[in-house]
């Protein structure tokens, strides 16, 4: 039985990865390590929390002694590392938290894997990263796996640093690694500080929809379940030491995305067309705001056979339906009441 450690498994992307591995690989034991910060939510995994091949571990990836202890205790065969501080705005106000989690935490895990995986031939350290490490694109072109790094925010700088450390451990110690860099994710269980769940929630409550600058910044959007599927494929079939870009092959300006969400929400809530658009409010642009991200995921398609399963409009409608059907989840996570569940069930 393979023993796989997934860090940050109670978060948005991590919970989808944990669920996929628990359900699809009954011969694997999946260990979900999460610190349960504000964005970690065990309610995301209620449907699989009693599965016989699933174990939750509460802990901090920056705690070297603790990380060494669980490597000894569980004898992991693989690590899928998703635990990270990920919100650009928060990185601008508190960059040190991003250095600690994204850089120190990653190196702490690398040290443990390198120490305990003496026979490294059948092990794998998979580091999940972001397209933001590449910087900002002009009107044309795409990020490739060979694109030079040019991070613009404390968040992307911290992720770029962690990427470099992962590759350095491969080159220096022959640690078996793969790295992926993904575009913006969307879907269920997304913490509502991010654009799409924020807009959905604010429309329901008739609150302003804040748009940075003129809303002309462009992002490539990736359905989170497609991302989890890509992680599955790369973990099992990716070439040792390689990097894979994961993108949704669809670019949207922020303002066009928000207007599409307004249209969908008006239809779902039975409101007159154009009602929600009146909530759009333009606010001062974010410092160092990258203009455009766009990923070329051709390598992943050609070498490993992955491609997105949904068109963006279809995925977005599916996402809206999920949030409307799971209002209690949204209310709990925005109120903080879900933390009481942790205190009752996970005191460690």
Q: Is 85 considered catalytic here?
A: no
Could you tell me if residue 199 is inside a domain?
Answer: no
> Cα separation of 95 and 85, whole Å?
10
pLDDT digits (tens, 9 = 90+) for 35-58: 998 778 899 999 999 999 999 999
Q: Domain of residue 229: give its range.
A: 2-189+221-250+291-312
Q: Which of 42-51, 102-111, 137-146 is predicted with the least confidence, judged by mean pLDDT?
A: 137-146
pLDDT, position 225: 97
Count of domains forming the chain? 1
Which is more confidently placed, 33 or 311?
Answer: 33
pLDDT for residue 339 is more than 90? no
pLDDT, position 342: 40
Identify the band that residue 338 occupies on the pLDDT scale cut at 50, 70 and 90: very low
Could you tell me if residue 140 is inside a domain?
Answer: yes
Could you tell me if residue 243 is inside a domain?
Answer: yes
pLDDT for residue 86 is more than 90? no
- pTM > 0.75: yes or no: yes
pLDDT for residue 118 is more than 90? no
Distance, CA of 345 to chain centre: 25
- Residue 111 belongs to domain with CATH number: 3.40.50.720
Could you tell me if residue 48 is inside a domain?
Answer: yes
> Cα separation of 288 and 93, whole Å?
13
Q: Is 155 considered catalytic here?
A: yes
**204: helix, coil or strand?**
helix
pLDDT, position 344: 46
Write out the E strands in 82-225: 124-130, 177-182, 184-186, 209-212, 218-223
Write out the E strands in 95-201: 124-130, 177-182, 184-186
Q: Which of 35-44, 227-236, 284-293 is predicted with the least confidence, judged by mean pLDDT?
A: 284-293
Could you give the percent of the chain with pLDDT greater than 70? 96
pLDDT, average across residues 181-201: 91
Identify the band that residue 348 occupies on the pLDDT scale cut at 50, 70 and 90: very low
> Cα separation of 241 and 166, whole Å?
9
pLDDT, position 108: 98
Q: Which of 183-197, 254-268, 275-289, 334-348 is predicted with the least confidence, judged by mean pLDDT?
A: 334-348
Could you tell me if residue 137 is inside a domain?
Answer: yes
Could you tell me if residue 101 is inside a domain?
Answer: yes
pLDDT, position 44: 94
Could you tell me if residue 161 is inside a domain?
Answer: yes
Q: State the DSSP code for 102.
A: I
pLDDT digits (tens, 9 = 90+) for 194-224: 889 999 999 999 999 999 999 999 989 999 9
pLDDT, position 336: 57
pLDDT, position 135: 93
pLDDT for residue 12 is more than 90? yes
pLDDT for residue 76 is more than 80? yes
Could you tell me if residue 73 is inside a domain?
Answer: yes
pLDDT, position 308: 93
Q: Is 60 considered catalytic here?
A: no
Query: Residues 134, 155, 186, 338: which is the catalytic one?
Result: 155
Query: Residues 131, 145, 225, 251: which is the catalytic one?
Result: 131
pLDDT, position 38: 79
What burial letters (b/e) apply to 96-115, b meaning 16+ CB within 10 Å?
A: eebbbbbbbbbbbbbbbbbe
């Amino acid at each position: 039985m393979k023993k796989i450690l997934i860090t940050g498994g109670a978060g948005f992307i991590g919970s989808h990865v944990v669920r996929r591995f628990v359900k699809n690989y009954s011969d694997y034991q999946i260990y979900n390590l999460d610190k349960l910060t504000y964005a970690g939510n065990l309610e995301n995994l209620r449907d699989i929390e009693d599965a016989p091949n699933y174990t939750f571990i509460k802990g901090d990836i920056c705690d070297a002694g603790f990380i060494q202890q669980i490597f000894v205790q569980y004898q992991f065969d693989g690590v899928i590392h998703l635990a990270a501080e990920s919100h650009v705005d928060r990185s601008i106000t508190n960059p040190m938290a991003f250095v600690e989690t994204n850089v120190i935490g990653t190196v702490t895990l690398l040290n443990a894997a390198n120490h305990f995986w003496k026979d490294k031939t059948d092990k794998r350290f998979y580091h999940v990263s972001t397209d933001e490490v590449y910087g900002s694109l002009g009107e044309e072109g795409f990020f490739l796996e060979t694109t030079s790094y040019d991070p613009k925010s404390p968040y992307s700088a911290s992720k770029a640093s962690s990427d470099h450390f992962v590759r350095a451990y491969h080159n220096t110690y022959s640690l078996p690694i793969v790295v992926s860099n993904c575009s913006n994710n969307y879907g269920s269980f997304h913490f509502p500080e991010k654009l799409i769940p924020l807009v959905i929630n604010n429309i329901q409550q008739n609150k302003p929809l804040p748009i940075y600058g003129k809303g002309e910044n462009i992002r490539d959007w990736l359905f989170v379940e497609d991302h989890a599927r890509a992680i599955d494929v790369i973990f099992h079939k990716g070439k040792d030491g390689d990097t894979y870009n994961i993108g949704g092959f669809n670019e949207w300006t922020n303002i066009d995305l928000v207007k599409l969400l307004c249209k969908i929400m008006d239809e779902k809530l039975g409101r007159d067309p154009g009602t929600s658009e009146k909530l759009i409010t333009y606010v001062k642009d974010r410092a160092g705001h990258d203009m455009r991200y766009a990923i070329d995921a051709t390598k992943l398609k050609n070498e490993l056979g992955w491609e997105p399963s949904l068109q963006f409009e279809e995925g977005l409608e599916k996402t809206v339906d999920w949030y409307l059907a799971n209002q209690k989840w949204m209310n709990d996570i925005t109120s903080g009441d879900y933390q009481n569940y942790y205190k009752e069930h996970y005191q460690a």
